[in-house]
Amino acid sequence: MILAESGTAPPILDPTSARVREASALLDPSVSSGRSGSAATAVRPAADPTLFAAPEVLDELVRMFRGKCGYCESLLGTAGIDNVDHLRPPRDALGSDGLTSPRHYWWLAYEWTNLVLACTDCIKHKGARFPVRGPRMEPGGSPADEAALLINPRDHLENPSQVLVFQPDGVVASTDERGIATIEVLGLNRSALVTARAQVWNEVTAGLATVGYVPDDGESFHAMRIQLVNDDTRTRQQARVGFDLTQTARQASALPVAQVVASPDSAPSNYYSATRWMEHIELHNVRPIKHLELDLTASSTTTAPWEVLLGDNGSGKSSILKAVALTLVGADQRRELERTLGISPSSMLRRGCRSGYVKVWLTGLPEPVTLTFSSREAEFGGTPEPQVVVLAYGAMRLRGRGGAQRASSVGNVANLFDPNHDLVDPGPWLTALDDATFAAVADSMRLLLALDDQTSLERNHRHGTLWMRFGRSREPFEELSDGFQSMLVLACDILDTAFSVWTSPSTAEGIVIVDELGTHLHPRWRMRVVDGLRRVLPRMQFLVSTHDPLCLRGLGDGEVSVILRNPDGDVVTITDLPSVKGLSVEQLLTSEHFGLGSTRDPHVDELFSRYYALRAVPARTPDQDAALAAIDSELVSLRQLGTSERERLVLQAADSFIAERRANGDKVALRGEVKAQLRSLWESALPPTTPAAPGGGA
């Protein structure tokens, strides 16, 4: 982090203008909502983005921050509205104790000095966090009135370089309270950022060995470059040792969160200091999986990242979900699952193997959360305490029938392993909520279920009944369709945990795992389910599987992985996929996401599956060559491989690439290598050319 240059407030943000005064008044919780209480904040309006999207605002911020993120100093390229952040959030300010303050800081929503140009990753990780020591400032007050723990890149009294110390491996360390808070809140040690800084460190170090180097403040990671040039190895090593000790202690005591909202006077948990999202998953010898890695850092959205797993039945999707759930849930719940459901180490182990493991890297934690299992051990090993709130659901999500008990206040994964494991019963749960919380939940359900103005969720306190009103008629919850009940049960079960740990759905964080997301849902809901859950729970990370192309609506780039078995039976992944935005269902089904050869004829699809499997064999036998020739001939007769020499040449090169990628996954299709590989395949498919005669024309 480095301080921004001084700037001039654009006229459009003049606090005395009628537009800014009216927009600010809408954010005042005392007038913008007829209800009080933190749960009601879910229905309050957000700041008007059009004021920040004005060229005069963006251009000045870009100049002041030199086209870089004000927090992590990554180069932004073309900045847009998604790159404008509020240092002090305009609503629901979240403290290090996990409690939100609905009253803060709505009056600073359009304050010029409160705006920071930032990358979407820093903005996502920060969310509404703004920890302070002691009381928060009040309307009309000054930032000097509160002891903010987040370093302000626009305050020239700050000196970030004194508390943020960069390391050769790309990690940024600190032993200062404000430095640690800034690193944690902004996720400054997230994996992609650490990798990028380490690469720059090595490049600069190599340059220093040959010629003089003067850092340019327009380059990425300028603060790190300056520290490298002014090399102070002792300070760097001291900062790293102290920082590592602090982070290890925080991870060891991460999640004793049973007391959180119900008893705010008890000792605060470190869990609220930083967003904890999965960044990387590694599985070894897990059921059908020999070795598999998933990178979860490619999401392009401004909300919590999602990851959707696609693939045929038996490809390993459910095994991945279950392995991750077992890893994150902690030792106590693992023992309970073994006792009640027989989930043992041997049940997770790949056939013929003696041991296996799962590693899940969470943002900001120094070590991965681990799960180990062996045919020689009676219990799972690995990280004993849960490090994050985690919930997991199978394809059958049944409402509770009175006997189900949540295994933990920080999550439950039993339903993923046992479809008969009851979830929360929405009727008793909703009728027991206070009025403000019920109103917020009802509004959330309207978003999630895409209800019109004539449809609403209602309850009766006295009788403990719940029903859905459709215009002038209403139906009891028990008589609603499976789709309605499934969505209500899923949402209420997630919110039940969210409200036990957080004060509102908009700030609730954790990881939700769902197998077969679209089960029982009408196509209209399948198209809206991702967007609806994102709007209701914008800070929850979802890891889900589906077979339904409609469930891909609402996903951003980098949020889909295809899981498939190659001809050798090994599970591989394909993540270098085109955007799903704007694609029709038929286009999705025949794209890399689902890989159907045809949406009209299953026989053609089967032919293509065998065709690609045979083409991927590096040294075919004569029988395999004959089988491939027969399939090729049939596909030609069905007009599936082009109708001209031009088309056949192009498709032959493309088919070679597809066949190899289906066999080896991302090992073949790494970004940056695709074009080179296609070019090579294309050139191999071209007929040989005759060299030009000496002196002849081209």
Q: What is the pLDDT of residues 639-648, one digit of tens each?
A: 777 666 666 6
**Pick from 234-243, 447-456, 618-627: least confident:** 447-456
Taking 50 as the threshold, does the pLDDT of residue 693 lie above it? no
For the ranges 540-549, 568-577, 671-680, the maximum mean pLDDT occurs at 540-549
Transcribe 335-404 into DSSP letters: HHHHHHH---HHHHBPTT-SEEEEEEEETT-SS-EEEEEETT-SS-EE--S--S-EEEE-S--PBP-S--
How many Cα atoms occupy the beta-carbon half-sphere of 658 within 13 Å? 21
What is the arithmetic mean of pLDDT over 441-464?
78
SS (H, E, C) 114-165: HEEECCHHHHHHHCCECCEECCCCCCCCCHHHCEECCCCCCCCCCCHHHCCE
**DSSP secondary structure code for residue 96 in this structure:** T
Residue 73: the pLDDT is: 96
Residue 422: the pLDDT is: 76
Residue 253: the pLDDT is: 56
Closest CA to 9 of 66, 60, 63: 60
What is the arithmetic mean of pLDDT over 432-436?
83
- pLDDT 10s digits, 139-193: 888 888 899 999 999 998 888 988 999 999 999 999 999 999 999 999 999 999 9
Tally DSSP H helices, then E strands, for the chain: 22, 23
Residue 403: the pLDDT is: 45
What is the arithmetic mean of pLDDT over 47-68?
92
Q: Are 575 and 298 in contact (CB under 8 A)?
A: yes
Taking 90 as the threshold, does the pLDDT of residue 532 lie above it? no
**Euclidean distance between the first and final Cα of the chain, in Å?**
57
Taking 80 as the threshold, does the pLDDT of residue 334 lie above it? yes
What is the arithmetic mean of pLDDT over 2-27?
90
Q: Round the average pLDDT of the chain to a whole number and report it.
A: 82
How does strand 510-514 pair with strand 540-545? parallel
Coil/strand/helix, residue 212: coil
Residue 406: the pLDDT is: 54
Neighbours of 245 (CB within 10 A): 11
Taking 50 as the threshold, does the pLDDT of residue 671 lie above it? no
Higher pLDDT: 579 or 384? It is 384
Taking 60 as the threshold, does the pLDDT of residue 238 lie above it? yes
Among residues of the chain, what percentage have pLDDT more than 90?
34
What is the arithmetic mean of pLDDT over 492-500?
85
Residue 479: the pLDDT is: 77
For residue 42, what pLDDT band results from cuts at 50, 70 and 90?
Answer: very low
Residue 685: the pLDDT is: 54
What is the arithmetic mean of pLDDT over 78-100?
90
- pLDDT 10s digits, 197-211: 999 999 888 877 666
Beta strands in 413-555 (DSSP E): 455-460, 465-470, 473-476, 510-514, 540-545
Rama region for 573: left / alpha / beta (φ>0; ψ in -120 to 50; rest): beta
Residue 37: the pLDDT is: 39
Taking 50 as the threshold, does the pLDDT of residue 439 lie above it? yes
Q: Are 540 and 509 in contact (CB under 8 A)?
A: yes
Give the whole-angstrom CA distance, residue 257 versus residue 261. 9
Angle formed by the axes of helices 331-341 and 317-329, nearest 10°: 120
What is the arithmetic mean of pLDDT over 591-619?
72
**Pick from 9-18, 289-298, 366-375, 444-453: least confident:** 444-453
Close Cβ partners of 523 (under 8 Å, ≥ 6 residues apart): 550
- 355: amino acid identity, one letter: S
Residue 211: the pLDDT is: 66
- pLDDT 10s digits, 370-395: 999 999 888 999 998 888 899 999 98
Among residues of the chain, what percentage have pLDDT more than 70?
83
For residue 255, what pLDDT band results from cuts at 50, 70 and 90?
Answer: low
Higher pLDDT: 461 or 311? It is 311
Question: For residue 658, how far is the Cα from the chain centroid?
Answer: 28
What is the arithmetic mean of pLDDT over 253-257?
54
Taking 80 as the threshold, does the pLDDT of residue 17 lie above it? yes
- β-bridge mates for residue 372, sequence order: 357, 381
* φ, ψ at 654 (rounded to 5°): -65, -40
Residue 642: the pLDDT is: 67
Q: Which residue has the tokens 């040039």?
A: 229
What is the arithmetic mean of pLDDT over 539-553?
90
Closest CA to 293 of 303, 283, 279: 283
